[in-house]
Amino acid sequence: MADAPQIPDEAEVRARWGAFAWTPENAEQAKTVIARYPAGRQRSAVMPLLDLAQRQVGAETQTQGWLPVPVIEYVAAQLDMPYIRAYEVATFYTMYNLAPVGRYHVQVCGTTPCLLRGSDDVMAACKNRGMVKGKTTPDGLFTLTEVECMGTCTNAPMVQINDDNYEDLDYDSTVRLLDDLAAGKQPKTGPQNPKRHTSEPEGGPTTLKDMVKANHDYRKDW
């Protein structure tokens, strides 16, 4: 557990976030989300509301965002559910951060397909930039986390950074990716292999070639 994120002191957290409330825009968004569910089932909105709350915290701190306990309590109270039920959701899904993270939350997949395709090189590029698993760099820019499969096995190895996936990585492309983010640039998302647009074979299609060509021509004309 040495690389587990460190949750700040509770007194500090409550002093900073004890008065959390939705911004006017997010308050309207929360109402819209809750209205999607039948009467008596509003608690089903807990996941999107926790995500919304995390994004608001992120906007206020210029980071990817996290869920302080008072923020989880706020969401639970709005949905009239016990705090522990909301906390169970927040602790189950890795999309929720229970401790502060940096502006860019770098989640490196270390599951077998990515490992076989070179995720160790991706992790090495992160570490050579001063990143340590479970911690945020001193400049507050990057937080490094190793995660399990995120469903992009065809284009392994990959990382998810905030809301974006970056695929077909190696050491050099990971370095470029991190350099661009540090410089305030928005790197190209998805496959970093120039031979790929999505998850098609690197050498081009092997079946249904006519259909693929027609689709490509249509997009080109459009």
Name the 3-class secondary structure at 219: helix
pTM for the whole thing? 0.85
pLDDT over threshold 70, residue 214:
no
Question: When comparing pLDDT for 52 and 209, which is higher?
Answer: 52
Q: What count of other Cβ atoms lies within 10 Å of the Cβ of residue 99?
A: 17
> What is residue 220's predicted lDDT score, i.e. its pLDDT?
59
pLDDT over threshold 90, residue 222:
no
Residues 133 and 147: beta-carbon distance below 8 Å: no
Cα 15 to Cα 131: distance, rounded to the nearest angstrom: 29
Report the 3 state secondary structure along 112-171.
HHHHHCCHHHHHHHHHCCCCCECCECCCCCEEEEEECCCCCHHHCCCEEECCEEEECCCH
DSSP states of 62-98: TSS----HHHHHHHHHHTT--HHHHHHHHHH-TTS-S
- The pLDDT tens digits of the residues spanning 103-141 come to 999 999 999 999 999 999 999 999 999 999 999 999 999
Give long-range contacts, CB 8 A cutoff, 24+ apart: 44-51: 45/79, 46/75, 46/76, 46/79, 46/81, 46/85, 46/86, 46/89, 47/89, 47/93, 49/75, 49/78, 49/79, 50/75, 50/86, 50/89, 50/90, 50/96, 51/95, 51/96
Name the CA dihedral angle for 73, 79, 85, 86, rounded to a multiple of 10 degrees.
Answer: -50
Mean pLDDT of the chain: 91
Question: When comparing pLDDT for 5 and 59, which is higher?
Answer: 59
Q: Which helix (H) or strand (E) holds 10?
A: helix 10-17
pLDDT bin (cut points 50, 70, 90) of residue 6 is: confident
